[in-house]
Structure 1
């Protein structure tokens, strides 16, 4: 993957100039000038999801300049590198494999010449089996009682990811109560612990490396 600083590109300079031209334009102005603005700057996916970005200070020229920036930074090449398993995480020198977790087509994703999908599918199946055991009450707490509460301990994506899913799927909530602890301030976990029964609570420690100070402090 190419290492391109977007701020040093010609496209970025063009966007900066465009920003200066647009900064005093209001959303009301944009709608007044274009009666078809909503249809131009929105998209529907499968008649189930609407993405409306018409209420942003953008025009067709803005989108064109953003596309120029993507081309100049070789965004398409970066996407290809990510999906091919190239080690694009330069900080940790490893592949970025969340794409493998969402690869329901089961297309092979190679890392160092090895397809990681069999391992991914095996772990996802374990997660499904464990989750079903918790929900059904088959998996018990330490005194033999079924789980009623789940406390997720994490920070950053390990907190916001599960929280987002929980909020998005709230209409389908079952009997389990979800709690999230991310703040290293002891008050956060203390308040959560007041709400739960240790006999029927499952604690999940979510971390990629298990070296994050806030997460490990709360876990211990």
Structure 2
């Protein structure tokens, strides 16, 4: 099988991109008064506005065709079904189970992993509550007032982003 960049869907998208190269944004908005509505979405206070990019309805159709040709839907379904798609470790990726607040079963080898996931999340909740209310004491017998994040050698940008995003909710004693 050819690589994705040699696929017909990629070639069509590349030709489409070239056809839009000289199109000005003013033209696109003039041709489609509903452009902002068609090429933006909002969830609560988060606005994703992609209307100010050189895209058309055809662009989206071509992008979806490329995703289908690349097998994105198949891989998505495999992830949600608990298939072993982490080829490095030969195990399922369970991000979906960690975010599953509906308790819909997530099956791995025919077994629902949600009871175990919920048990670990409850232990984390109990521990973090005890740290915040001062009942979990550190090695010295004192309440914990400093938290140090020690990673495994990757980027610190993720934890930094979480700390910044959650600052308004921080506990005054930590």
**Same fold at TM > 0.5:** yes
| Corresponding position: 1:112 with 2:112 | no
CA distance in 1, matches of 2:2, 2:73: 13
Q: 1:85 to 1:27 in 2, by over 3 A?
A: same
Tell me, what secondary structure is at the counterpart of 1:153? Answer: coil
8 Å contact kept, 1:4–1:73: no
Report 1 or 2 for greater relative contact order, CA contacts < 8 Å, sequence distance ≥ 6: 1
5+ residue gaps, structure 2, are none
CA distance in 2, matches of 1:141, 1:12: 56
The CA deviation at 1:5 is 4.2
| Number of the residue aligned with 1:83 | 80
Q: 1:148 to 1:72 in 2, by over 3 A?
A: same
Aligned to 2:131, which of 121, 134, 145? 134
5+ residue gaps, structure 1, are 178-220
Tell me, what secondary structure is at the counterpart of 1:133? Answer: helix
| Corresponding position: 1:10 with 2:8 | yes
CA distance in 1, matches of 2:40, 2:94: 30
TM-score, normalised relative to structure 1: 0.69
**Match runs of 1:88-103 below 5 Å:** 88-103=85-100
| Number of the residue aligned with 2:40 | 42
How big is each residue's C-alpha offset from its partner over 1:91-121, in whole Å with a ceiling of 9 and x where there is no partner?
2211111111001111111112222111111
TM-score, normalised relative to structure 2: 0.85
